[in-house]
Structure 1
């Protein structure tokens, strides 16, 4: 064969290889589409086939197509055409296809973090040297101190199947992983609590030591999120320069797969939660409320549902630009911490534990910037992964047995995971924190405050309506719109509203305090009552404008 013929032969073979590659790609895309189809077979058989798709796709795509065709996919003309082309090009005889022995009992695992029976699993990218190059490959580390490559083949050996593909940053150091798998390190959860608590106190001033302890427990709890049925959101609410962003950053660096979502798209956040179980730290949450695009609305729906495990949000996606749009569900459940200057929707706030952020007077803490190179953060993350795998069974037992007769309903759902971690730490041999009682009392106080807030939600429109009716009827406005406390109380006493009838009872006290609280909650005043000299007497009252009342009423509608 001369040189010209050799070049022609090489060109022909290259074209054939490219053609085969393209056909394989088409078949692979078809398989992805079929994962969402409703097959006309028994649910048990359908689940078995769907679970085996990745294995079949890797071992023999023709067999994969054949199996699916046998259970109802017979009208997919394009699919069958592709199968024939593939079989012809690859020279595969359908009668010679091997028989796959299906695993009889496959458990679905979410590899980023999961707890199945008595075993804990976490996926970590591990650096591997291949041909003098460093590659990052996902490995599952188990509480049994196993290190298993994340692949369908390895998972099937353990009768496991993964439906998700984590895309992770390296947060657990190789050195610590080796110490754990070799059983050379013993770490106590009470010591980890102390480390996080002290580091938090050095960077952040929450003004209340119980809040610092709660936030520390919350960070630890993110490493056990898949054990819990619900996970409480945290809402940092405060003025500018009160430390909200700093607190979010601190939390993201230490919590499980923490993500600062300042500039992340809704599509990215939805997938990070689904695949990585990321702890989302969301700043300026009120900006999302003002957006009306489809992705933002989907993200709001995900946040509303995502405090409870098993909640999903649906989206339509294309496998490629030529395929049809197919429905796909993304899990919404993961820990989330929000920050805002103003409040947000009652539906979302009801899923949150509120933390009021105030500007610190401690100049040293205020000027101490978070340093990502601070070795303390990596050391604590290493310990958090370690206790996740060693304390998971204990956390699971406490979570299943813990009960309370005073914290009720949703407040119990939100309190239970944090109280569980507090109980585990108190139970630790050398622990003398008494965290459980402190956090429980704190939860009871939050429950009381939320109950009062819900009552105010129903009273506020009535407060505004009563004031609007009186203010609108005045022919001449009051000087400087200043109303004394007694004047305002008389307005409510004579309103005829049942909710204000108690003000006519001379034996009732704290009427002035109630008035100030009601006006502040309605957004009509911000601070305490002003004091003015009227007819030679010091009189307290508030400046209230009719325009502000009308504006607030519009927001109530």
Structure 2
């Protein structure tokens, strides 16, 4: 006997009831196998439906737990996808060149249409319109293409890197642009990675940190400014993130003012602390029908943070951090936020979508097998996505762009970056200007640390001399190993040049900030010394 109907008939339901009475733990596949031995072929779907009718609670308990995914980006069913709008309705384009739509809607109490997307993966979010999404022209190019790869990953890598260097002056330390380029590319497939680091630009006012963050945001996956410094409420933050799982820029949120500022800052810190992992969430509470409800709100996505006053040590371990000073070159006059410049980022974004649609499996395979034995613990977590992209680019045919080498150079040259809350560097140099002799001579950091005004300024530090030595090296003063330690060649003229170039708008020593609490990122340091008048990355 063959059961042809998809929905179970009374005979099939009776069979399932009988089997369940004899063995409450029996499974649909067991019933099918037993029937097969008796010469009866049962349709699996029919038996599963019969189990759901006869014992609905057990059927629900046996179902695997569903995993909600983002609508705008992700991996599902061995395919990569990006969300977009087609005919005003939600749709996704997959790496296998399928376009799935959601045309489902209610009409006069009935559900009409079909949600093809939910057949690939489950989701309960929307596709927000704050951040840019893949353009339909790009979807069409990929969907109709039958002529091989649409983009050259190496050429696109160089284009992104060159774009950064067009606007930003890193004084020859071009490996910074390589780190940022790898991070930008990785944002287009960030759900592949279990851990994805934030970026931190920690620098004084008018140093170009916001400019650099804007450039990175423009080229990253669905980049948008969260507006935390403008006093947004926590509810607005949640609603924004719910439909925009792209790259979030949080620029100087410590400057927020107003009634909601404290709550927003607490929420932002909570998000930064929790959201470096794929399964990260914060607990969201909301009053519904006079009853308070709490649920997990996923907040995993790439983030860029800019601030002056630093960041707490817990959050800092989730970052790849940068710190720099002002520059006085022509690049400083180039404005990426002008409309013409902003439009120039669009082709790069669209090409990056195509890069991942065509290469996501290769990137995933590298990540699954990549090990960085020279890096430990959280540092390795932060850098795995970036070295994954570097290894992918270096492994392609064509020009050797040495991406891995550039990333290792950054790590080697910058191991020990100080991110500070309330930087006293300006006050230090102001005191130095009034204390050193007119003519050049060598000074030991311990000698400087013994001056009364310096003791008052840096007395809270465990090793003021070490702090002083690092600052003098950062600002490119000549040094020499003399006797038992390092000494630095200083004069009033040379210190005045540093003060005029970097701190001309800084308050006097008595007005300057007094307390400094330094936290350290474990992967950056200062070792490349050129003329002290150049741009400096800390």
Matches of 1:408 and 1:239, distance apart in 2: 30
Taking structure 1 as reference, are residues 369 and 406 closer, same or farther at Cα in structure 2, changes over 3 Å only?
A: closer
Partner of 1:109: 69
2:222 maps to 1:281: no
Measured in 1, the distance between the counterparts of 2:517 and 2:244 equals 41
Distance in 1, matches of 2:513 and 2:329, equals 41
Q: Measured at CA, do residues 490 and 287 of structure 1 come closer, stay the same or move farther in structure 2, by a change above 3 Å?
A: closer
Other-structure match for 2:348: 380
Shift of 1:119: 0.9
CA distance in 2, matches of 1:353, 1:172: 27
Task: List aligned pairs for 1:128-527, cutoff 5 A.
Answer: 128=87, 136-150=88-102, 153-155=114-116, 158=119, 160-168=121-129, 169-184=131-146, 186-207=150-171, 208-262=173-227, 263=230, 264-287=232-255, 293-319=262-288, 322-374=289-341, 375-446=343-414, 448-449=415-416, 485-486=446-447, 488=449, 516-517=469-470
Distance in 2 (alpha carbons) for counterparts of 1:234 and 1:218 = 9
Contact 2:70 2:125 in 1 (8 A): yes
- Higher gyration radius (CA): 1
Q: What TM-score comes out, normalization by structure 1 length?
A: 0.61
Bigger RCO of structures 1 and 2 (CA < 8 A, at least 6 apart): 2
Distance verdict in 2 for CA 1:554–1:429, change over 3 Å? closer
Counterpart residue number, 1:33: none
1:552 and 2:519 matched: no
**TM-aligned CA deviation for residue 514 of structure 1:** 6.0
CA distance in 1, matches of 2:103, 2:194: 28
Q: Is the 8 A contact 1:489 1:515 kept in 2?
A: no
Aligned positions, number = 396
Distance 1:119 1:555 in 2: 45
Contact 2:84–2:127 under 8 Å retained in 1: no
Task: Tell me the equivalent position of 1:4.
Answer: none
Report the CA distance between 1:439 and its aligned residue. Answer: 0.5
* SS of residue paired to 2:354: helix
Show CA shifts across 1:335-388 (max 9, x none): 111112232212222222222233233225524443334443221111111112
User: Does the Cα contact within 8 Å between 1:106 and 1:159 map onto a contact in 2?
Assistant: no
Is contact 2:253-2:265 (8 Å) kept?
no
Q: Does structure 2 retain, via aligned residues, the 8 Å contact 1:279–1:334?
A: yes
SS at match of 1:342: coil
Shift of 1:550: 12
CA 409–170 in structure 1, closer or farther in 2 if over 3 Å, else same: closer
Q: Is the 8 A contact 1:273 1:331 kept in 2?
A: no
Corresponding residue for 1:35? Answer: none
Closer, same or farther in 2 for the Cα pair 1:428/1:327, shift >3 Å? same
CA distance in 1, matches of 2:513, 2:209: 32
Inter-partner Cα distance in structure 2 for 1:490 and 1:174: 66
Q: 1:551 to 1:202 in 2, by over 3 A?
A: closer
Tell me by how many angstroms 1:395 deviates: 0.8
CA distance in structure 2 between the aligned counterparts of 1:171 and 1:286, rounded to whole angstroms: 29
Task: Write out per-residue CA displacement over residues 173-219 of structure 1, whole angstroms, 9 at most, x where no aligned residue.
Answer: 22221110112562122122122122222222233211112111111
3-state SS in 2 of match to 1:268:
helix
Segment of structure 1 superposing worse, 300-309 or 184-193: 184-193
Tell me which residue corresponds to 1:45: none
**Distance in 2 separating the partners of 1:430 and 1:482:** 55
**TM-score when scaled to structure 2?**
0.63
**CA distance in 1: counterparts of 2:331 and 2:413, whole angstroms:** 31
Between 429-438 and 416-425, report the one with greater CA deviation.
429-438
CA distance in 2, matches of 1:270, 1:189: 35
Distance 1:553 1:378 in 2: 41
User: Is the CA contact (8 Å cut-off) linking 1:107 and 1:161 kept in structure 2?
Assistant: yes
**1:293 match: secondary structure:** helix
Q: Return the offset for 1:242.
A: 1.9
Deviations 1:202-253 (A, max 9, x none): 2222332111121111111100110011111111122222222222222222
Residue of structure 1 in register with 2:427 after alignment? none
Aligned position for 1:464: none
Partner SS for 1:391: helix
Aligned equivalents of 1:490 and 1:357: distance in 2? 28
Report the secondary structure of 1:121's partner residue.
strand
Unaligned runs of 5+ in 2: 1-52, 105-113, 425-433, 438-442, 455-461, 475-487, 493-507, 520-538
Alpha-carbon distance in 1 for matches of 2:75, 2:94: 9
Gaps of 5+ in 1: 1-66, 73-99, 129-135, 461-479, 493-498, 501-510, 522-527, 533-544
Residue number in structure 1 paired with 2:527: none
SS in structure 2 at match of 1:273: helix
C-alpha contact 2:282 2:299 (8 A) present in aligned 1? yes
Aligned CA-pair RMSD: 4.3
